[in-house]
Amino acid sequence: MSTSFPFLQAWMDKTRQDQPLRDYVGEAVGSGAPDSVASIFCRAFEEIIEALEKAQPQRLDSVRGVFRKARTLDDVLIVRAELVAGAKLARGGVLFDFGRRNGATEPDLVLREMDLGIEVKARRLDGLRDLHDELEAALAGIRPPVLVHLTPDSQPLIIKADVRARVVEETVQRVHSGNLGTAVFEVEQPWSARERLLLRVGILPAVDLRSGSRVVVTNLFWGNEPGPHLMDTEDEVRAVLENKQKTRQAESMPTILLVDAARTGMAWIRSPRVWAQRLAMLLPDTTPFVGVAVMIPTLDDPDVGISLGVRANLSDKDRRAVNELVGCLGLTAV
């Protein structure tokens, strides 16, 4: 039995050998197992690309080229954000084109009949995941293996690279010297809603781990809504709203800023309705953006829900266009 993804495989033609999806496509096509992780990921990409190929927006070939040149999974996920947004427009019957690239002051998606643009921004910020991955890599060759518990007193959106390096170095030294137990790192984070992070790093013997050391994150702190972590996430959205390049694009035509926050800490924990309410509060009357939206796409789903906050002082024309888009796509909007 074989599994075929004709639209995805056509896009994979002429890709680099290190294009990250090659392994997934090879596994999915080779195994023919429809419920495998590789097949599920590829099926989602297949449906996204099929919707775009049938809609045939202008400059689709430019976006296809970006997809083909991707070298890392991060590269793939950045372009996927734009693809999934375009596919949602296509499925909603909204005529659109991809914007001009290479320095042009035009949004990523231009809606032909609504006088609206959508500027897509993918944010990848997860300091705790970065530290987890770097610790696992540093401990991979150490024998006997150990079990490391990372226990923060709050959820950090960012842990600076030099701080992560210090935690990794000291933890590896403790493992080598047999200094088990817990060490506490105090990290100043003046940019965060919670200005100081206490990070406990516990080391336990784990001779039964056959595949090497493991690092686990425990005792995650959610906090009350909005909570420090989600306030930090909102600050990242606000930073994009104030980005000079993004504002120039918003000044070229009425534009909604769409932030892919799937990999921005734990943005996914907030409900779509609350996201829409908080986004509306973030928008100053002076911003050139008509609205700001957040989406949390997943690799196993070709579609995505979108929460939209709209600027209070919109013109009647812009509000009609936004309302029409909300109706076509079924957005959660305030």
Q: Which pLDDT tens digit goes with each residue over 236-280?
A: 999 999 999 899 889 999 999 999 999 998 899 899 999 999 999
Confidence class for position 222, pLDDT limits 50, 70, 90: low
How far apart (Å, rounded) are the C-alpha atoms in residues 123 and 303? 19
What average pLDDT does the segment 302-318 reach?
96
pLDDT at 206: 80
Of 98, 12, 14, nearest in space to 55 by CA: 98
Task: Count CA within 13 A, CB hemisphere, residue 279.
Answer: 32
> In angstroms, what CA-CA distances link 288 with 109, 175, 301?
17, 53, 32
Closest to 48 (Cα-Cα) out of 7, 20, 10, 76: 7
Share in percent of the chain as helix, strand, coil (round to 5):
45, 20, 35
CA–CA dist 117, 99 (Å, integer): 9
Instruction: For 14-40, write each residue's pLDDT tens digit.
Output: 898 889 999 999 999 888 788 899 999
Residue partners of 163: CB distance under 8 A and separation at least 6 = 185, 187
Q: What is the mean pLDDT of the chain?
A: 92
Confidence of residue 158 (pLDDT cuts 50, 70, 90): very high
Single out the residue of 201, 224, 203, 249 nearest to residue 104, CA to CA. 249
pTM of structure: 0.91
Handedness of CA 291, 122, 23, 98 (dihedral sign): positive
Q: What is the pLDDT of residue 221?
A: 58
- Minimal CA–CA distance to 235: which of 301, 169, 190? 190
